[in-house]
Amino acid sequence: MPQLTALDAQFLHFETATNVANIAGLAILDGDLHRADLQALLEQRLPYVPALRRKLAPVPFGLDHPYWMQEDDLDLDYHVREIGLPPPGDERQLAEQVSRLHARRLDRRRPLWEIYLVHGLSGGRMGLYTKIHHAAVDGVGGADVLAALLDTGPRPAPPPEAEPERDSPPPGQAEMLARGLARLAGNPAHAVRFASMAVPYLDEIPVVSSLPGARFVSGLARTLAGARQVPDLPTLPAPRTPFSGPVSEHRRFAYVSLPLDELKRVRKAFGVTVNDVVMTVCAGALRRWLAAHGGVPAQPLVAGVPFSLRDAGAEGPGNQVTIMTAPLAVHVADPAERLQHVRQAMRRLKDRFSPASARWLREFSESMPAALMGLASRSAFALLGQAAPPINLIVSNVPGPQFPLYVCGARLLHHYPVSVISDVSGGVNITAFSYDGSLDIGVITDRAMVPDAWELAGHLRDALSELRNAEANVPQ
């Protein structure tokens, strides 16, 4: 039975009355879907989706990270729920329901997921909101879980012929204690090994890189080790914005779809990547929002950009992800110039960023005693949220399939990510998912900081229009 890694466990420690570690998606389906049909599909496929049939098995006294244990009596009546929208059943009503559902913590006594069928959406459509705890999956793993429930045609595929693998049971209480004590004894040696790995990468880690001498020490360590010379990363202090600081317990959600071919035309005209265009669209939208709510800062915003550490084809539970920090040129008025700023910044980051820095951070987490990690994590989050948040928001762009998918015969029209905001990352998260010719963007905000998430979502469409207009002035 697998045990949570230190990074997985941090998403449990992260949660408070206001910080919730749910990652989710809102699917818009063409046609109505019956709860019984979805439950029947899940009955067939859950044995092949380990993340959805496991629950936490805590270690006594919190001496070590919890284990996952298989739930043999999964209650689908609990996990699969349905609600209805009152007339007229519009997009804002659907988003309001998602806002409320997303703010609720999952029950840790059960497998950490829930699905809601939302009936009554206008145009004969329905919503399907699926949430799962970040301790169980990262963004890539979450997409894999969703894919296991989808089909490439209207008729559901038969279940695999192979027998599903069963997890071995977790250790007993006495063995958990013994393993926890053994791990505790090995923590000092682990910490020494971590320190030797960490020094060359101090300048790549948010917060740490801003400490006095961090850049000098890491540069000296690379020189002494004979490593190749790399350009210095820019110092990125996050300016204060209306969405900086601790978040409340309330959320707002909105969504928008942009034609993927329009982003590709901008990409081709300016010789950039689609991701550069997405980041610039976000920068343009944020600039418009800030101009109407307190003013645009004279420096870039700092975005946390999730970066997967999974090797191609790699599978497995848990989190294999880190965060890069990227400047968002909201201070640049001209959209074409803004795009070039983003292009240069992203190229510099990709040339400079090394997964090794993320791996040493994981080593650091593993070197901490589990009993202290919860307190340390909560204290660090509280301090950074109050004093100097290292980033202004999270921006993510996840590639998806470019062909239609189906759930129990209903076609998936759009899939909007619903992600995480926190005291440290700020009160805005913009996550995009490309699917079947569309870029589906979910905007989750703190209600007290950004009460109208639809305003920000609308600015995303405006920002793309700006780039399309600028594209017309590019010499062919």
| 201 assigned to some structural domain | no
Active-site residues, by number, are 134
Residue 220 counted as domain residue: no
Predicted model pTM: 0.87
Note whether residue 249 is domain-resident: yes
Residue 72 structure tokens: 């043999």
Which runs of E-coded beta strand occur in 210-316?
Answer: 251-259, 301-308
DSSP reduced 3-state for 472: coil
Kindly give the pairing relationship between strand 410-418 and strand 406-407: antiparallel
Q: What are phi and psi of 338, to 5 degrees?
A: -60, -40
Residue 363 in domain:
no
* CA-to-CA separations, 49 to 43, 114, 149, 242, 254, in angstroms, rounded: 11, 14, 9, 41, 29
Residues in the chain: 476
CB 332 within 8 A of CB 338: yes
Q: Is residue 470 part of a domain?
A: yes
Tell me how far apart the alpha carbons of residues 73 and 54 are, in angstroms, rounded to a whole number.
11
- Token pair 């780039």: residue: 467
**Domain region containing 180:** 1-157+172-189+239-357+369-476
Burial label, 19 (beta-carbon count in 10 A; 0-12, 13-18, 19+)? buried
Helix pair 335-352, 260-270: axis angle to 10 deg: 80
| Domain assignment present for 92 | yes
Q: What are phi and psi of 438, to 5 degrees?
A: -130, 145
Please tell me the distance from the alpha carbon of residue 235 to that of residue 215, in angstroms, as a whole number: 10
The per-residue pLDDT string of the chain (476 residues; one tens digit each, 9 = 90 and over) reads 788 888 888 889 889 999 999 999 999 999 989 999 999 999 999 988 888 999 999 998 888 889 999 998 999 999 999 999 999 999 999 999 999 999 999 999 999 999 999 999 999 999 999 999 999 886 555 666 777 789 999 999 888 877 877 777 888 887 777 777 776 665 555 554 555 555 555 555 555 555 555 555 455 555 655 555 555 555 678 999 999 989 999 999 999 999 999 999 999 999 999 999 999 999 999 999 999 999 999 999 999 998 776 555 455 555 567 788 899 999 999 999 999 999 999 988 877 665 555 555 555 555 555 655 555 555 555 555 556 678 999 999 999 999 999 999 999 999 999 999 999 899 999 999 999 999 999 999 999 999 999 999 999 999 999 999 998 888 76
> In whole angstroms, what is the distance from residue 188 CA to residue 208 CA?
21
Q: Give me the number of domains the chain comprises.
A: 1
| Residue 163 belongs to some domain of the structure | no
**129 — phi, psi (to 5°)?**
-100, 120
8 A C-beta contact, residue 107 and residue 75: no
**Is 162 among the domain residues?**
no
Give CA separation, 160 vs 44, 49, 151, 206, in Å.
9, 12, 13, 44
CATH of the domain at 44: 3.30.559.30
